[in-house]
Chain A
């Protein structure tokens, strides 16, 4: 079964078609990167897939559940790590994690166990009793991802997970994201080409609300006759403007 299948998924805002009859398939266990210039339709697509906004037309199935007909069931399958650092600043790291675990339905004991597991897994042990708002940007982003993972989703949406981080913090997060492969399906949106190339199994390039190309980084480069993914991306993205 595909993790995600969209069928002519469309979102219209008055005169603007943010996403235009999108047909996309993402396989289970795949790490799929969604690239596009600003306004390409990535964020709106993610919002529709995560139940934050209702499609104007079409539908998307997440592990067989419709975002239109069964949004509550979809929410039980997914987790989102937003671009902004979405943590409760006065709560400690472990309180943030416990909050999310309990929201997902875990009782206190199970939540405590999950907090232990994810503190270990994401290397948060040394900061677990610190207030989230006092952490550095890299630690906050790590916590933000942990807060999504502790929901134990089948599909994880990572929106610009390394935006604004230094090289070291980015490298550490890349390692973490690589470790998620096969455990769950990951949809990654990023503006960093090297990030998409290093992490993803396949890449989808969006422009003008449409999916312009899908393939591995090598396939996209070959199809565009480009030496780098960035060159290939620029060529493909320019097609929309023509």
Chain B
């Protein structure tokens, strides 16, 4: 545990001291939130394109895609710079590395979610006590994105990570999540793909929790299938990430 905490502290420092993290991880989702709220404020009331009740929970999930980028970049840079090679020659065990990368990203993800809700309140999101539950219940989605980062960081170099996690994943999670428009409006393969991937379900679950699903049995019953899908992806990606990391460790 002590060794995991040592590596976790180091991971948190590396991530939080990077100005790009602060800008993209914390600032960028807020910029998007502000812009889309401004658009909503300037279109007729009858058109509810970006209402805060739907937009803010969605942006909390979109913001998590940057957690993938940060964790993937850190792991791949540690591999390329031989820092991991150095650590492999110490008595640390594989679990120390895996948890040392994963665990510190979770509170950072929760802080990002809280910041999005906080900014959302300023922009007109109605205050509800369910926001606190929504922040906490973004953890499964956070695990999806962070595990995906560990997986990509274990398999790709930092340039590939920049392309795949920075450009491709943020676009995938943005378009296939139903944050900006209902995926059923596109339909067909697009809708099927959106419903197979975890992003859409993470957004729907966030929206449901914010709306008070935890205190409404029917709403909860409708929301839980989204949670199960997110949890299944989180479990699958965590296993895949651990496998990839250990595979790289042996290969090195």
Classify the secondary structure of B's interface with A: helix
Q: What's the minimum C-beta distance from B86 to chain A, rounded to whole angstroms? A: 4
B78 CB contacts on chain A under 8 angstroms = 88
Whether the Cβ atoms of A148 and B13 lie closer than 8 Å is no
Whether the Cβ atoms of A82 and B91 lie closer than 8 Å is no
Whether the Cβ atoms of B10 and A99 lie closer than 8 Å is yes
Whether the Cβ atoms of B17 and A72 lie closer than 8 Å is no
Whether the Cβ atoms of B85 and A82 lie closer than 8 Å is yes
Interface size in chain B (residues, C-beta < 8 A) = 23
Residue interface mask B184-209, A partner, CB < 8 A = 1 = 00000000000000000000000000
Whether the Cβ atoms of B82 and A103 lie closer than 8 Å is no
**How far is A82 from B81 in the complex, measured between Cα atoms in Å?**
9
| A80-136 interface with B by 8 A CB criterion | 80-91, 95, 99-100, 102-104, 131
**How far is A72 from B89 in the complex, measured between Cα atoms in Å?**
9
| B73-109 interface with A by 8 A CB criterion | 77-78, 80-83, 85-92
A72 CB contacts on chain B under 8 angstroms = 91
B77 CB contacts on chain A under 8 angstroms = 89
Whether the Cβ atoms of B82 and A52 lie closer than 8 Å is no
Q: What's the minimum C-beta distance from B143 to chain A, rounded to whole angstroms? A: 24
Q: Which residue of B lies closest to A92 (CB)?
A: B13
Q: Does A151 contact B (CB under 8 A)?
A: yes
Contact status of A90 and B13, CB under 8 A, knowing A52-B252, A75-B91, A103-B6: yes
**How far is A103 from B85 in the complex, measured between Cα atoms in Å?**
14
Whether the Cβ atoms of B82 and A82 lie closer than 8 Å is yes
**How far is A51 from B81 in the complex, measured between Cα atoms in Å?**
19
Residues of B within 8 A of A (CB): 2-3, 6, 10, 13-14, 17-18, 77-78, 80-83, 85-92, 252
Residues of A within 8 A of B (CB): 50-52, 72, 75-76, 78-91, 95, 99-100, 102-104, 131, 147-148, 151
Give me 6 A-to-B residue pairs in the complex whose CB atoms sit less than 8 angstroms apart, sorted by A's number: A84-B81, A88-B83, A90-B17, A90-B18, A103-B87, A148-B86
